[in-house]
């Protein structure tokens, strides 16, 4: 992003997402705006900031304390998650560009650079495990073993990385494959009526955008929304290192 217009878009998009997830009016403080400026100056992609905000609110909303009416009142709550995702992003892009993400003679202990990836993989495994328990409680028996297998595979990726395996794009590629398997499992576990309702909801929500988008772009956007609705129906995360 370059230029005043892009700068304003970055700031407003972060503000809009934060307020949307907070669910209540709030004026961002000068400290919040300074933090957004810091993220932009560091070159942190807007999509990573948006994802980090979502991760923080998803975690917060699962805590029992939220029942007492507590809220996240500032972007500072998201600082660590934004930094963590940006570290992952930087590691992967360094490898893609041919630069070593860790020293060539790294020891067989987890390199410091892989720390954010290890933490993120652990969180994905826990989220899938929680979804497995919820699926079991809801009687969605066909989904339970698939989720158990996926959680085990994510933990295996984490173990491999923890044993000193270099953090590279192979991890993201494997997660993309697992995510496709996860969506297939969710689809197979749902009644036809539920699948039809999800497809219809995606079409309805994007109907107003059809005239402003090319047909391929609209279909791709709709497919992404269907995938998001499927994940929501099963309470599972998107399996990726960064969105």
pLDDT surpasses 90 at 197: yes
What would the mean pLDDT of 69-80 be, rounded to a whole number?
Answer: 82
**78, 53 Cβ separation under 8 angstroms:** yes
Q: What is the pLDDT of residues 143-194, one digit of tens each?
A: 999 999 999 999 888 888 776 655 555 788 888 899 999 999 999 999 999 9
Residues of the chain above pLDDT 90, percent? 22
**241, 172 Cβ separation under 8 angstroms:** yes
Q: How much is the pLDDT for 145?
A: 92
pLDDT surpasses 80 at 228: yes
Q: How much is the pLDDT for 29?
A: 87
Q: What is the pLDDT of residues 13-42, one digit of tens each?
A: 898 888 888 877 678 888 889 999 999 999
Q: How much is the pLDDT for 164?
A: 63
Residues contacting residue 136 through CB under 8 Å, at least 6 positions apart: 144
**Which contiguous run of DSSP H or E holds residue 23?**
none
Q: How much is the pLDDT for 113?
A: 46
* Mean of per-residue pLDDT scores for the chain: 80
pLDDT surpasses 60 at 124: yes
Residues of the chain above pLDDT 70, percent? 80
What would the mean pLDDT of 113-119 be, rounded to a whole number?
Answer: 72
pLDDT surpasses 50 at 106: no
Q: How much is the pLDDT for 57?
A: 84
Q: How much is the pLDDT for 194?
A: 94
Residue 20 burial by Cβ neighbours in a 10 Å radius (0-12, 13-18, 19+): exposed
Pinpoint the alpha helices (H) of the chain: 3-22, 30-41, 46-61, 79-96, 115-137, 143-162, 169-189, 192-206, 215-234
Q: How much is the pLDDT for 3?
A: 43
Q: How much is the pLDDT for 196?
A: 95
């Amino acid at each position: 992003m370059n230029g005043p217009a892009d700068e304003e878009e970055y700031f407003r998009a972060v503000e809009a997402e934060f307020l949307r997830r907070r669910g209540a009016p709030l004026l961002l403080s000068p400290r919040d705006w300074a933090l957004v400026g810091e993220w932009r100056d560091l070159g942190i992609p807007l999509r990573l900031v948006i994802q980090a905000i979502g991760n923080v609110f998803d975690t917060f909303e699962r805590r029992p304390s939220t029942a007492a009416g507590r809220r996240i009142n500032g972007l500072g709550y998201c600082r660590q998650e934004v930094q963590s995702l940006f570290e992952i992003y930087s590691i992967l892009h360094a490898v893609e560009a041919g630069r070593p993400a860790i020293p060539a003679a790294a020891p067989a202990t987890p390199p410091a650079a892989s720390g954010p990836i290890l933490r993120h993989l652990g969180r994905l495994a826990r989220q899938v495990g929680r979804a497995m328990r919820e699926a079991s409680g809801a009687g969605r028996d066909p989904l339970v073993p698939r989720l158990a297998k996926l959680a085990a595979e994510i933990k295996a990726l984490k173990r491999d990385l923890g044993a000193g395996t270099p953090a590279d794009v192979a991890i993201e590629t494997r997660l993309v494959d697992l995510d496709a398997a996860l969506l297939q499992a969710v689809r197979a576990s749902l009644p036809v009526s539920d699948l039809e309702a999800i497809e219809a909801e995606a079409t309805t929500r994007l109907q107003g955008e059809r005239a402003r988008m090319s047909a391929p772009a609209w279909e791709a956007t709709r497919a992404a929304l269907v995938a998001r609705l499927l994940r929501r129906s099963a309470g599972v995360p998107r399996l990726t290192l960064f969105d």
